[in-house]
Amino acid sequence: MPNDAWVADRNFCTLEFTSSIASKGGFLVILEHKKYPWKPLGKEKYIGDIETGKVYEQLILYKLRLLHYPL
């Protein structure tokens, strides 16, 4: 749904999952998977501290790939 926020572990950090949420106007709070293809659109912004560390946010551009499924 538009404006919904999704919170997920890095195992859900796939192009298919994240692009489907973004295409519906949703937002993601997700741990980065090291193989996720992205580039920053600005600097990280410090948000605050939590019990286990510091929280930052950053706008990114992900590199969408064309998926081909043979008929």
Mean pLDDT of 5-27: 86
Q: What one-character DSSP code corresponds to residue 22?
A: H
Mean pLDDT of 9-31: 85
Q: Which residue intervals of the chain are DSSP H helices?
A: 15-23
Mean pLDDT of the chain: 84
Question: 3 pLDDT exceeds 70?
Answer: yes
In the block, which residue shows the tokens 């551009």?
61
Query: Quick check: is 56 in a domain?
Result: yes
Q: Is the entire prediction scored with pTM above 0.75?
A: no
Query: Quick check: is 67 in a domain?
Result: no
- Of the spans 13-17, 19-23, 45-49, which averages the highest pLDDT? 45-49
Distance CA 28, CA 18 (A): 7
Query: Quick check: is 22 in a domain?
Result: yes
Distance CA 55, CA 50 (A): 7
Query: Quick check: is 13 in a domain?
Result: yes
**Quick one: pLDDT at residue 53?**
94
Query: Quick check: is 71 in a domain?
Result: no
- Enclosing domain of residue 36: 5-62
Asked whether the beta carbons of 30 and 55 are under 8 A apart, the reply is no
Query: Quick check: is 44 in a domain?
Result: yes
Structural domains of the chain, count: 1
Asked whether the beta carbons of 35 and 63 are under 8 A apart, the reply is no
Query: Quick check: is 29 in a domain?
Result: yes
Query: Quick check: is 27 in a domain?
Result: yes
